[in-house]
Amino acid sequence: RINRVAGKLKRVAPVAVRVNPNVEAHTHAKITTGTYQNKFGIALEQVEAVYARAARLPHLHLRGLQMHIGSQLSSVSPFVQAVRKVAPVARRLATQYNLQFWSIGGGLGIVYDPALASGRPAWWRRPQARSWLTAARYAAELVPLLKPLGLRILIEPGRFIVGNAGILVTRVEYIKRTGRKTFVIVDAAMNDLIRPAFYDAYHEIVPLTCRDDRPLARVDVVGPICESGDFLAKDRPLPEVQPGEYLAVMSAGAYGSVMASNYNSRRLAAEVLVHGNKAALVRAPQPLEELWKHERIPAWLR
């Protein structure tokens, strides 16, 4: 199909083929992408035949190879396994088709719990941090395997760069005590940050106003959307807060605003860029009129 489209445009399209190495990433089932049970890529045993076919198509230029085994990995072992499996094939393809690069994908995980503490160098000297995947450990294991290939190596460390740089700020609207459970109802919801509902993901939550005298209470932090899947935290120890206070939902920089929606006719939140003591509005709050701006009523319904 790419060859056909490129031909119509009188172009030669640079392409890379995604290979599936059939390696278990040991991450959440919804974000593992490199096994034969996933929909992605060409099976390792079939990829050389695909390159041979692509090389015969006149409007394709084979430039590289790509793979991606999953997201939010906390160990380097799956990366090492995948690179070792694919490297011999990559070497043969590079020689035969003069490939220039190999994109080995992304997937480096970040520390969601505890996000705040992990931002301090002292945390990384603690026992629980010693097994966590760092950029240095990632490079130390993979560079010796990749360097002999002589290819340009591309990586996709999106979450690793921005995940812990983003915070969702939300206002406490109500405190609801049922006698069996306490709900902290906030103005943010699953449409703003769907990861807890979609992946059962943990996001650290802290009050913006820090006070040592606050007692802890075990609560559910929930939004105003009309389903029970609308939560940011469940059964979470949290300093007692009052309506009108603000909470910071940490680690919202990756798969946060990009997965936001207008579900329940809710507007997209504003985004503010902070650098030191400077702050700038980089995306304005969505106007209410935008929710129906692109809707049309057919003439036969008027």
Query: What pLDDT does 280 receive?
Result: 98
Nearest alpha carbon to residue 186 among 200, 205, 211: 205
The structural domains of the chain, ordered by start, are 2-161 (3.20.20.10), 166-284 (2.40.37.10)
pLDDT tens digits, 168-179: 999 999 999 999
Per the annotation, the verdict on 226 as an active-site residue is yes
How far, in Å, CA of 248 to CA of 284, rounded? Answer: 19
* pLDDT tens digits along 153-171: 999 999 999 999 999 999 9
Query: Where is pLDDT greater, at 120 or 248?
Result: 248
Q: What mean pLDDT comes out for the span 199-216?
A: 93
- Binned at pLDDT 50, 70 and 90, residue 212 comes out as confident
CA-based nearest residue to 71, from 186, 228, 198, 169: 198
Q: Which of 122, 136, 226, 284 is catalytic?
A: 226
pLDDT attached to residue 223: 98
pLDDT band at 229 (very low <50, low <70, confident <90, very high): very high
Per-residue pLDDT, 157: 94
Residue 211 reports pLDDT greater than 90:
no
Mean pLDDT of the chain: 96
Tokens 């906030």 label which residue?
186
